Structure 1
Amino acid sequence: MKRLSDIIAKNPIAVLVILCAVSLLLGINIRGVDLKVDTESMVPKDDPVIQDLMETVEDFGSQDMMMVAIKAPIYTGETLARVQRIADQVLDLPGVEDVVTPLDAQVIRGDEFGLEISPVTYGTPETEEEIEKFKIALKDSPQGSAMVSEDGDALAIFITLEPGVATSLESRDLARDIEAIAFQEKVPGEEIYVIGEVYLGYIATNNMLRDLRILFPLSLVVVVASLYMSFGSMFDVATLIASILMSLACTIGLMA
């Protein structure tokens, strides 16, 4: 150990250059670090339960869902038109498999000749007469009734994601785009909510990054002030901070 100390003391500049070079080389890998908040990425792919789940998705379709909830009087031409616009725009997004709104509900009626399946409406209702017919048909549809409140003040839009999208890096962009589409149709006096695991992960990631942008500089200022009060020299403080940053760069770089 004494021999190593003597080498460092005799060649401080060379040692510093080597440390900086190593920190830089390892620190470049920090770009490969990714923040994941979904639980599926944290379990082994060869786990029997996960394999069964993947086979189920292949057989029966994606189980990854999102929902846009709108709290507003729904039996108006304006609201129904906005619901249709939201559905059309969301369906065009990459990663979306299907979108179902109350306008897409089916009515199933039985008679002596068999079952008759028909949509609750053809197109988006605009006139009062069309809206009233839509309202009556919706009450006869269990599927449609499940997407609207009994008092007609709220509705839900169900979004089915393509298999694998929820655990991919593209899920954040998809959640952001769905949020933007939904909120751009919001009018004063109504409430719109985006719901789903993908959206919660998107919000959690944004909150973490926002906290890092605020708390890291703040904590750095506090640490520098505390060290300066202890050492009384900015050179000593800068040296200590630099060594800490190099250690972090090497550690995170190796993790990446």
Structure 2
Amino acid sequence: MIRRTARWIARHPIWVLGGVALVTAFFGVFAPRIEFLTDMEKMLPQDNPVVQRFEETKDTFGSQSMVMVAMAAPEGGTVFNLETLKKLYAITVEFEELEDEKLLEDVMSPANMDIVQGTATALVVGPILPHPPETEEDVAVFREKALSERMLKGTFVLED
């Protein structure tokens, strides 16, 4: 069977080339209609609550190429307390270690972001607190600076 087919192909090259050209033309007509979906968002179920939350987060923070870890206070509570801020600083240090190992590109946290503060004689650029909070006074300073810094308020730190 194979030899017979091979002989027919060898004896009728014009017919074979014509057939290949027809098949190629047929598929070529439909080739421009092929779509490649590379946007993962279009492949996700839009009615899924997790996908909807992702969309809200992306709209708020403007990126999907960034991973954000959020801390929320229990109902009626606040994240501005000694225990929570110590956790924030500890998590930031752990992520910075991953950054040092080149597993993360950039770590941004209220615990490590520099803010600009004006004094009577100069502008001072530095972290909100140079160390993890140790006292309630440190917590009060952190809260005041975090909520008054426009680069943090509404993005990294929410008032409510």
State TM-score, norm by structure 1.
Answer: 0.32
Bigger Cα Rg: 2
More helix by share: 1
The structure showing larger relative contact order (alpha-carbon pairs under 8 Å, at least 6 residues apart) is 1
